[in-house]
Structure 1
Amino acid sequence: HCCVFIIGLTVADLVMPWFVFIIGTSVALAFHAMVKRGVSRIQLLRKLTWRTVILLLMGLCFLNYGPRDGPLSWSWARIPGVLQRLGFTYFILALMETFFCLKDLDRYQFDNWWAPLRDIVLYWPEWVIMVILETLWLCLTFLLPVPGCPRGYLGPGGIGDDGKYPNCTGGAAGYIDKLVLGVDHIYHYPTCKELYKTTQPFDPEGILGTINSILMAFFGLQAGKIILMYRQQPLSILKRFLIWAVLLGIISAILTKCTQNEGFIPINKNLWSLSFVTTLSCFSFVLLGIMFYVIDVKNWWGGQPFIFPGMNSILIYVASSLLSTYFPFSWEMRFPNSHAEPLFQNLLGTSLWVLVAYLLYRKKFFLKI
């Protein structure tokens, strides 16, 4: 599942998309609360801009290189990255909520014929923006002429496709990143390099993929609006989550023709293809619905121990990224190609960071940006 162009999904592939999805849900809940408290648009703009800048700087300055890379040089510094993608995705969603968030939702409960769809109708400008962005992604991906490559190419290049397109890794996505960011400022060691013997750099957090990460977060934003507008009707929330999951699942089935590596737009993790987003959004609605039922409706579980890292998510993420190669989070394994030893190492490392987060919670230390 790690290779850029291996099609298909594993459970691990849900982690990053789920985080992006929840960013959208959090934005909906947080911005509604701030608007209801009377926070002005200027204050919201200042807050979202500050958070975005901090995320971009942390990703660019701390997580894109390590001590073994030597002193950071702009001549080879990688511009895209995970935090950069998250920061930009947050910025777009927060910007939309700043201008289109509604303060009083109760007035739209039952007075209009479209009340059952108010979570969509009331935010039509946001839907227009997302349709424009996704149309842009589709046009660039499938219509943009890429020198030496067929239009709409989504393959790995290298020896893939019988070696017909060796320099076409990532198609339009790879071409745009090299054109806009420069060859020296994107990822030079993609996971497809070893498998397909590719020679071209390709960045899994590139520009086109970020458009679809915004779409993924927007579905999470929609989930947050459902929670806000139907907060007195838990069954309505669960029904709407299920409807969205089924709808997105049907879209995924159509886009992929229910196949693993065929269809109009195959599922592709590191390209963040449209079918990848709709499929993982389907799973995210199901997972959020289960958690909502277990935690908020039935009160069977309070979210422990995962609630503790969530309260210090940026601190834990950055610290774990910087220290992931140090003992006791990592060590030289005797059987690195087995499943048992890497699994044990990862579980131990995760458990230690959960413990660190719990201790920070006990000390009431929370890093916010």
Structure 2
Amino acid sequence: MSDATTSYAGIDPEALFDLPKPAGESRIVVAMSGGVDSSVVAALAHASGAEVIGITLQLYDYGAATGRKGACCAGDDIADARAVADRLGIAHYVFDHESAFREDVVEQFADEYLAGRTPVPCIRCNMGPKFTDLFKMARELGADCLATGHYVRRVMGSAGPELHRALDPARDQSYFLYATTEDQLDYLRFPLGGLPKSDVRRLAEEAGLRNADKPDSQDICFVPDGDYARIVKKMRPEGGIPGAIVHAESGETLGEHKGIVHYTVGQRRGLEIGGQPEPLYVVGLDAEAGEVRVGPKRMLAVSSARIIETNRIGPIPDVELTAKVRSLAKPVPVTLEGPLGDGAATTIRFETPEYGVSPGQAAVIYAGERVVGGGWIDSTESAA
């Protein structure tokens, strides 16, 4: 154990990685974004006694990201990852995946907004560059596992490894990992899933990592200022073409919008159509007609949603299932009407009407704390 590691009182680093052989004979590849979470994973892996290799994927323009707060996998974050690797005395490699990230994630992000849908690029990133490509690299390097800084838990069940929510609900990232395959889960390790963020920062300080106080990354790393519409209009200028705001019930034109990319289902702010007898929300987007359709809150109520490209992780237990239809939504009781997994389309029916269910988002199915699977919301059935 070098002077860059610590004993981590109360934590057994080797046990966190559940290695198939003794740590001294093992190799762990750590996905290092440059943030504090993945840096602590690298420190824990090193403290386990295994050989550790850090890999950073450069996902978008290095120069444009330099100095930004809340970014990842670009700019200063790459330098932070390299500095942590140097501090720990582990190998570190950076691979340029900008073109793949742009094609698989950013371009699709823009196309989804242009089609009137609400995308979740973090899931697409995990399904593509982060897991698919990192898996290939880790296996080529002869690693026994691939470890990441995600706040989820890998729990061994009777049918094999299961994906569970993090113990700290405020940090849980299971919504973004529902598309993880069973083969991937067998190889993945999530050593932070049982820790609160305060402990992670403490471990970073104990290990002398320079990014111990670094701010958390934003949900959409390539839109650190939150202005996603600017990104979409730069790539797809037609998304900024003004059009009519139409009342979904009466058909009356109430005003003009600034471009369909500025609106999502459930939105109330920014409509600028005052003088109405009741509050109005975006209840639908007609991308072909270029219309934003609005209505009272009751029109947002949804009784069911059709989900596509579904994934299932392990068997579906005979217990009450719940679903999250947004990353910050509370899980609500649902029933499945059709098969889940292998890309099949299925329908989830809500026990009580659910609000703000938007095509393009993901619906993630849970059995208690366990992630059963999920899919992309393709369409909804109104409960109004």
Q: TM-score, normalised by structure 2?
A: 0.23
Q: TM-score, normalised by structure 1?
A: 0.24
| Higher relative contact order, chain-length normalized (CA < 8 Å, sep 6+) | 1
Higher normalized strand content (fraction of residues) = 2
